[in-house]
């Protein structure tokens, strides 16, 4: 199976598959025709000395400065060097590769005036898994992600650093080893390369996959906590959610309802005198469901962006160019900030369930350990969830609410979408730790309910955790357990195990009516 750059529709799942090698990307004759035709328009503009921004003018506030035809190549070379001003840690190799993939697809749409040889070189870097070192900080998300994209494409001209065979190397050395000459950029090429939102979009793609996994894990762990606390399944009754039919709420409720069906633990207290559960149990569909809705919104908008032309100017013909603002990051910056709040809230409610479990209510021992006093038990891991939840709340200030003018006022409103994308991924990382601690607690709580059993899926989740982390009879260093469970969640193995058992027992956790919530 192959993906045709510039022809097929790029989705989040396909971008990830291209990045991890499960899907091969190719250049077709149709895409090559579109690329070469667009490039011919730029050549004609240069030959006829028609003044077009970025082709034979300076950039930003220098847009009125004309550049001679003989200097156009130098202009593009200087552009990449002068805009490579990123600082801080490098983004992951996965994000760097996704950036290349998204940019290549956008350029292959045939509106950027870039040469086929440059397209082929970008494709070569992707296929060879030679990935540019891109600093995480420096983009304001306005004329696109200028600084990170400049670093991304310095290797085309033999500059900067790349990850090569598992280590960071000088690009010039790598090209010599590969017997490849650096490119000489043509008219408009530097501008086409660094104008665009691919840094923001790549962070969105990466976050959508992690967030989707965390959402699935949160439903499973929340159901385990509910069983450990002997909560009621009634708040998940589908009839209730037909009366307030938000798709995300209905989806989560149907999942929990299926997870709890035929639970011995539920049946053991069906006639108890508890009237209502605390909100962190009873309102899982409403809270998790709202976060699902935010995820869906970000997915929909990201996939529009993945298939868009976001550089400037857009080349429609030799006498038809448009200098606009498709590079502005606001369309993704706002939903990224929205998703950040949604991810933080998933951690917020998880912390509350963890707190409930160690309170010593509903037949569980205080601090989840039999000999409390001599042992602090599970008191302190909840301090960590509290700290992470608080940190996430601080990260929820929307980066898109800020704007600082740049480029001598030419770029007088910027999106700060790159910061939105980075913050979302940090919140999700914290969320994975928060969920790991709730999973640690919920698994211990279920131990106190045995020999009464939960359902096949939730008992399989319990056994899977116990294969990694032992039951706690007394105090030990819990940070090791937390890290194990965080890795189990973040890797997708925990959710995969639950889905495997659900499939075996024909338990439908992902109703066909809710395909929109799948990462496809």
* Backbone angles phi and psi of 137, in degrees to 5: -115, 145
Task: Give the 3-state secondary structure of 262-291.
Answer: CCHHHHHCCCCCCCCCCHHHHCHHHHHHHH
Which residue is it, tokens 């529009």?
Answer: 304
Residue 129 contacts residue 98 (beta carbons within 8 Å): no
Could you give the CA distance from residue 48 to residue 20 in angstroms, rounded to a whole number? 44
- With CA atoms as reference, report the closest residue to 453 among 217, 203, 228, 194: 228
Return the active site residues. Answer: 53
Containing 335, the helix (H) or strand (E) segment is helix 330-358
- With CA atoms as reference, report the closest residue to 47 among 184, 185, 183, 187: 187
Question: Is the bond into 448 cis (omega within 30 degrees of 0)?
Answer: no
- 3-class secondary structure, 310: coil
Task: Give the 3-state secondary structure of 123-191.
Answer: HHHHHHCCEECCEEECCCCECECHHHHHHHHHHHHCCCEEEECCEEEEHHHHHHHCCCCCCCCCCCHHH
Distance of CA 220 to the CA centre of its chain: 21
Could you give the CA distance from residue 263 to residue 254 in angstroms, rounded to a whole number? 15
Distance set, CA 183 to CA 67, 117, 120, 169, 341 (Å)? 21, 9, 11, 18, 43
The C-alpha torsion from 325 through 330 and 331 to 334, rounded to 10°, is: -170
- With CA atoms as reference, report the closest residue to 45 among 60, 67, 20, 74: 67
Could you give the CA distance from residue 123 to residue 25 in angstroms, rounded to a whole number? 8
Residue 83 contacts residue 146 (beta carbons within 8 Å): yes
In sequence order, the β-bridge partners of residue 321 are 315
Tokens of residue 382, six digits: 């909840």
Tokens of residue 315, six digits: 């080349």
Total residue count of the chain as it appears in this document: 520
Containing 385, the helix (H) or strand (E) segment is helix 381-395
Could you give the CA distance from residue 199 to residue 389 in angstroms, rounded to a whole number? 27
Could you give the CA distance from residue 479 to residue 470 in angstroms, rounded to a whole number? 13
Which residue is it, tokens 């309170």?
Answer: 359
Could you give the CA distance from residue 77 to residue 85 in angstroms, rounded to a whole number? 15
């Amino acid at each position: 199976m192959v993906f045709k750059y510039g022809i097929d529709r790029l989705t989040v799942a396909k971008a990830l598959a291209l990045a991890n090698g499960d899907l091969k990307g190719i250049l077709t004759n149709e895409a090559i025709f579109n690329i070469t035709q667009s490039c011919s328009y730029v050549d004609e503009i240069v030959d006829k000395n028609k003044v077009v921004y970025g082709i034979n003018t300076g950039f930003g506030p220098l847009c009125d400065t004309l550049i001679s035809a003989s200097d156009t190549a130098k202009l593009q070379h200087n552009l990449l060097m002068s805009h490579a001003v990123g600082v801080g840690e490098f983004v992951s190799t996965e994000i760097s590769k996704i950036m290349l993939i998204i940019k290549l697809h956008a350029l292959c749409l045939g509106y950027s005036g870039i040469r086929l040889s440059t397209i082929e070189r970008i494709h070569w870097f992707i296929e060879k898994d030679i990935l540019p070192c891109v600093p995480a900080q420096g983009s304001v998300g306005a004329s696109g992600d200028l600084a990170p994209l400049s670093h991304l494409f310095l290797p085309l001209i033999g500059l900067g650093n790349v990850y090569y065979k598992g280590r960071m190397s000088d690009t010039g050395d790598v090209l010599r080893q590969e017997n490849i000459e650096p490119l000489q950029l043509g008219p408009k090429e530097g501008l086409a390369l660094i104008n665009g939102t691919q840094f923001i979009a790549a962070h969105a793609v990466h976050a959508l996959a992690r967030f989707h996994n965390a959402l699935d894990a949160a439903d499973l762990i929340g159901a385990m906590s509910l069983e450990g606390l002997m909560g009621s399944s009634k708040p998940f009754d589908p009839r209730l959610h037909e009366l307030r039919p938000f798709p995300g709420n209905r989806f989560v409720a149907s999942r929990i309802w299926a997870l709890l069906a035929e639970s011995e633990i539920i049946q053991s207290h069906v006639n108890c005198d508890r009237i209502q559960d605390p909100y962190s149990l009873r309102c899982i569909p409403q809270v998790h469901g709202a976060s699902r809705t935010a995820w869906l919104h970000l997915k929909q908008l990201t996939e529009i962006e993945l298939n868009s032309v976001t550089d400037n100017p857009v080349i429609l013909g030799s006498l038809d160019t448009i200098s606009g603002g498709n590079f502005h990051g606001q369309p993704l910056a706002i939903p990224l900030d929205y998703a950040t709040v949604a991810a933080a809230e998933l951690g917020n409610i998880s912390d509350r369930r963890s707190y409930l479990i160690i309170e010593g209510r509903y037949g569980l021992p205080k601090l989840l350990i039999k000999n409390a006093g001599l042992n602090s038990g599970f008191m302190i891991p909840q301090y960590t969830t509290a700290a992470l939840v608080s940190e996430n709340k601080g990260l929820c200030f929307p980066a898109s609410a800020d704007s600082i003018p740049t480029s001598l006022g030419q770029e007088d409103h910027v999106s700060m979408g790159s910061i939105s994308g980075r913050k979302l991924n940090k919140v999700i990382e914290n969320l994975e730790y928060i969920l790991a601690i709730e999973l640690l607690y919920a698994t211990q709580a279920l131990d106190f309910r045995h020999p009464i059993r939960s359902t096949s899926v939730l008992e399989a989740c319990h056994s899977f955790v116990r294969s990694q982390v032992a039951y706690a009879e007394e105090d030990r260093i819990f940070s090791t357990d937390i890290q194990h469970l965080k890795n189990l969640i973040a890797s997708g193995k925990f959710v995969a195990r639950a889905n495997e058992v659900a499939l075996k027992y024909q338990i439908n956790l992902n109703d066909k009516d809710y395909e929109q919530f799948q990462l496809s």
